[in-house]
A and B are shown apart, each in its own frame.
Chain A
């Protein structure tokens, strides 16, 4: 992995070291500046106090005796010998003040407010502009003799020296920072290199090792952790080299084994393909058989149903014949009776014929998707079993909106309904249920259409409820059930109509729920 320049140890150590030294330097500079300023002010204060005390001492006799001539003469001389003093102001408590500067002197009656405020019992000073001087260190020294306040001595010092101190200080600080920066760059470079160089060397060697070159060795010899790291690195590379040799041997053995196993697997795979093909073919055969059986079962049931449907009209037709025969024997067969009997016979025959049409339509191949009315399909399917249901006193209740339409395989859907109705009918008959009832409830939801076939035959036994969709599983007597009805129904609903078919028991019996996608806009 390539190391980004900014992430290298050298750069980091260099930056950390440099930042630390620079921060310390700046911190001390920051701390020193105010201290130095105070020190300079203290120097100014001390100088001012010394000059003031000197003037007062030299002029003490003159002050007491009010020898202002001496005071002026002395202070003019002081000013000539001290160019850093802009002016001297002798301010007695009573009388005119004497203002002396480098060019002249004069008397003034009142002081300006800024200066007058500084006159109290303490030594005061203030840096401020006075007259033509932009900035003056104005020092006020109270003149007292034997505890008696005589007045004040004001001295205006030039701040040039103070400013020079400050400027020199800033220059020195900048100089120190500049030197520090140079030292930081130089020492920091050496320090960072001292820290990072062995690590970089070992890192470079490690990269070579990682690239597969196990001939490299570290030549760093030091008595510290880096030295230990160097030795350890060399030992590690030695170990790696040995391991590599072992690995190569193992690898060779493994490759041989893999080749052998690969050949075996290839052979096995070839057999497996054949077996799968055989299984698939067998499965297809079984499914074909199953479908065939399903058709046969359906046809058997159709025939049974037709038989049931025809039984009543056949009986009625027999009765018509018997009545005709009886009338004829009684010689009471007239045209009207004959016509009535023929009409009745014709209606019965017509009904039987329509029954055949119904069954034929039911089993008519219909393998294309179309929109159909669920209510009509349920009703027509129920009609097929009408006779059997009546014979067993089974009440069928259909709850369905007559306009409920979906798209799908209409014939297959009819077959599912027929299977479920047949199962419910057989269960009701088998369990000899009281007031046997089948309820078909079709409900349209937002996205789905749910059709529930519910009976009150007591339900599916818990032990078999998980097996009812298995092919060839049936609880019916031999010859009455094939065990493929529910299997085919589930296949039709879930594979061909993208729906679900599930069953559960309630307190009365079994509930089979068909849930289809509401695909009809």
Chain B
């Protein structure tokens, strides 16, 4: 099963950005640049750094060169930059060094101004199904709701702020306290898949995971659905969103190229690296949902403080 990645979309967009679309039949757009910024922590689970760098700087470039010729593009330069800190990425974007950003939607909504963002792309699950965050628990632990998590062991994905906010929101709603203030043993894992395995093997009692991981692991071992059940869900469409700089001239053209990514051999290879089978476009306005969710979280949190 393939897992959608916005990173892949970003890669595709970057690749597409290397192509220039002529404004007319006789005019070629030249000196088009496409600098892509990636928040590495959000994509490290899907692919390692080397694979990402290779796929972006070699395979994507090769593919975009070929696609550019078909669309009368001429790519002057392209570059993929991996950021370990979102703040560094924010600064680079504000300084005009990036034409495309790829990061979790919550971080984008918090760190980037809407006025500076143009529409972009997002990787989807197979069949263009949306991604979601799930709270899961072992079926044999008598956990039927949030309140039964007290005194239990839980695992969260490292450096995933959205997952943190998701579980904290659930606890705030149930206990009026953040999860850190409840008798819950929290451990962190780098991968969502690993959390599912730990729950399965009774290393932990519950965890926050992505629905794509749950589906994948259940396919690998159907017994997982018998031993693990979802308790709560937060639909998020995709784990990473990709948005162009609002004034980038080839947003539509590169989007068109990226949408056809699954139709070429090299494109499929790149998507395979990022384990996402589908790509769809997304609007900047879709970030409002995450703004609201974050605001609601802040409200609950502040309420607790009072």
Contact = CB atoms under 8 A, between A and B. Distances in A.
Interface of A: 66-70, 72-73, 76, 103-107
Interface string B193-206: 11001101101000
Nearest to A106: B221
B194 A105 contact: no
B268 interface: no
Contacts of A67: 198, 201, 203
B201 A68 contact: yes
Nearest to A96: B201
A67 B200 CA distance: 11
A106 B198 CA distance: 14
B265 interface: no
Nearest to B219: A104
B117 to A, nearest CB: 36
B234 to A, nearest CB: 23
B220 interface: yes
A262 to B, nearest CB: 112
- Kindly list the 9 A-B residue pairs having the minimum CB-CB distance in the complex, ordered from nearest: A69-B197, A68-B201, A69-B198, A104-B220, A105-B221, A69-B201, A72-B197, A106-B221, A73-B194
Nearest to B220: A104
Contacts of B223: 106-107
B221 A68 contact: no
A319 B203 CA distance: 178
A66 B201 CA distance: 9
B188 interface: no
A68 B220 contact: no
A68 B220 CA distance: 15
A73 B197 contact: yes
Contacts of A69: 194, 197-198, 200-201, 203
Nearest to B189: A69
A327 B172 CA distance: 211
Interface string B175-219: 000000000000000010110011011010000000000000001
28 contacts: A66-B201, A67-B201, A67-B203, A68-B197, A68-B201, A68-B203, A69-B194, A69-B197, A69-B198, A69-B200, A69-B201, A69-B203, A70-B197, A72-B197, A72-B201, A73-B191, A73-B193, A73-B197, A76-B220, A103-B220, A104-B219, A104-B220, A104-B221, A105-B220, A105-B221, A106-B221, A106-B223, A107-B223
A70 B221 contact: no
B215 to A, nearest CB: 13
Contacts of B222: 104
Contact of B194 (A70, A103, A107): A70
Contacts of B198: 67, 69
A247 B201 CA distance: 117
A188 to B, nearest CB: 53
A69 B197 CA distance: 5
A184 B194 CA distance: 65
Given A67-B198, A70-B194, A106-B221, 12 more contacts: A66-B201, A68-B197, A69-B201, A70-B197, A73-B191, A73-B197, A103-B220, A104-B219, A104-B220, A104-B221, A105-B221, A106-B223
A73 B191 CA distance: 10
A72 B223 CA distance: 14
Contacts of B201: 66-69, 72
Nearest to B203: A69
A222 B72 CA distance: 80
B221 to A, nearest CB: 5
Nearest to A100: B220
B47 to A, nearest CB: 13
Nearest to A99: B221
A76 B221 CA distance: 12
A105 B222 CA distance: 9
Interface in B245-266: none
A70 B197 CA distance: 8
Contacts of A107: 223
Contacts of A66: 201
A73 B220 CA distance: 11
Contacts of A104: 219-222
Contacts of B197: 68-70, 72-73
A225 B291 CA distance: 108
A66 B203 CA distance: 9
Contacts of B193: 73
Contacts of B219: 104
Contacts of A72: 197, 201
Interface in B215-236: 219-223
B269 to A, nearest CB: 15
A266 B252 CA distance: 140
Contacts of B194: 69-70, 73
Nearest to A103: B220
A106 B201 CA distance: 11
Contacts of A106: 221, 223
Contacts of B200: 69
A11 B86 CA distance: 89
Interface in B56-114: none
A72 B219 CA distance: 14
A105 B193 CA distance: 14
Interface string B150-192: 0000000000000000000000000000000000000000010
Nearest to B218: A104
Nearest to B193: A73
B220 to A, nearest CB: 5
A103 B1 CA distance: 11
A436 B38 CA distance: 164
Contacts of A103: 220
A103 B201 CA distance: 20
B132 to A, nearest CB: 22
Contacts of A105: 220-221
Nearest to A69: B197
B288 to A, nearest CB: 36
A484 to B, nearest CB: 138
A80 to B, nearest CB: 11
A66 B198 CA distance: 11
B193 to A, nearest CB: 6
Nearest to A107: B223
Nearest to B223: A106
A249 to B, nearest CB: 102
Greatest chain A CB density within 10 A among B197, B200, B222, B223 is at: B197
A75 to B, nearest CB: 11
Contacts of A76: 220
A107 B200 CA distance: 11
B1 to A, nearest CB: 11
A104 B198 CA distance: 17
A103 B222 CA distance: 12
B154 to A, nearest CB: 14
